[in-house]
Amino acid sequence: MNLRDLRYLVAVAEHRHFGRAAEACFVSQPTLSTQLKKLEDTLGVTLIERSNRQVMLSPAGEQIVEQAQKVLREVNALTGMAEQHRDPLGGDFRLGVIPTVAPYLLPKILAPIRKAFPNLRLQLTEAQTAPLTRMLKQGDLDALLLALPLNEENIRELVLFEEPFLFAASSQHPKAKQKKVSLDDLNDEQVLLLEDGHCLRDQALDVCNSHRAVENTNFRATSLETLRQMVAANIGITLMPQLAVQGRQAHIRYLPFAEPSPHRVVGLCWRSTSTRVPLLEQLGEVLKRTVTDILT
């Protein structure tokens, strides 16, 4: 038995699918399946009930996965302690970022992070809030960059910045010639939103539901870039985070909201038991300064 096999088992438990688990572990599916069979042989119990339709854990598998998660958390904590003592501001650092932040913010903050922490080896993971939170709790990530509040037990939240939403509409839209819009301008608009699982969808829905906007249920996007193209085609309007607006774009108008303007809060999260708090707090300050310069 080794830690790698425990990670494979936990991945299967999370994804309930051998292919997706193998992809998450960066190995081939046959390799993952072979190692899990060896783990079962070593333990002398069946951990996974296999069928053509689904992957289920056996009762023994459920208990062993729970224990494996504890083991992996402790191993990650041990590794973190060693890193901290060798170089409090260096070593491997695993950061998770949500998809509505990652492509727009990361290119702007990586250089300042490298300058402030030259010995830090940054490892990035992009995923939606739920899987990132699970990975943070399990010790597979050191921190998350996402929309707040997260409201999770034993997770510390540090607010970095407030990001305004802009009213994004086709240049052919009746309101496109306005300099500003109000929240009342959302009334009866067909609003395009992201698919379930994106925290930005929930935030936009809250705004829409309080101002009689109507979600266009015939379409849900997997990314902000897809939303952008649908808005350009005048299928509907959307709420676009300011960081995602990069210069002038053909066929789309981005209009600011008059006060009170809708916005989201973006922050840094980490386990309250983390051994890297000095690094995390300093990283938060670097991010605050950098994003303030970007947004002003």
pLDDT at 274: 87
Residue at 85 is within a domain = no
Write b or e for each residue in 20-49: b if 16 or more Cβ atoms lie within 10 A of its Cβ, otherwise e: ebbebbebeeeebbebbeebbeeeeeebbe
Residue 57: closest CA among 10, 102, 94, 95: 10
Note the pLDDT of residue 265.
95
Measured between alpha carbons, how far is 160 from 148 in angstroms, rounded to an integer? 10
Last residue of a domain, one of 79, 102, 124: 79
Whether 131 and 272 map to the same domain: the answer is yes
In a domain, 159, yes or no: yes
- Which of residues 46, 79, 112 is at a domain's end? 79
Phi, psi angles (nearest 5°) of residue 180: -140, 165
User: What integer pLDDT is reported at residue 203 of this predicted model?
Assistant: 87
So what's the pLDDT on residue 247?
A: 67
In this structure, the answer to whether residues 94 and 206 fall within a common structural domain is yes
Q: How many domains does the chain have?
A: 2
CA nearest 280: which of 268, 289, 291? 268
CATH code where residue 156 lies: 3.40.190.290
Structural domain including 49 reads 3-79
- Give yes or no: residues 28 and 116 share one domain: no
271 DSSP β-pair partners: 155
Please tell me the pTM assigned to this model. 0.73
pLDDT of residue 102: 94
69 and 180 in a single domain? The answer is: no
Residues of the chain under the 50 pLDDT cut: none
Cα dihedral 283, 284, 288, 290 in deg (nearest 10): 20
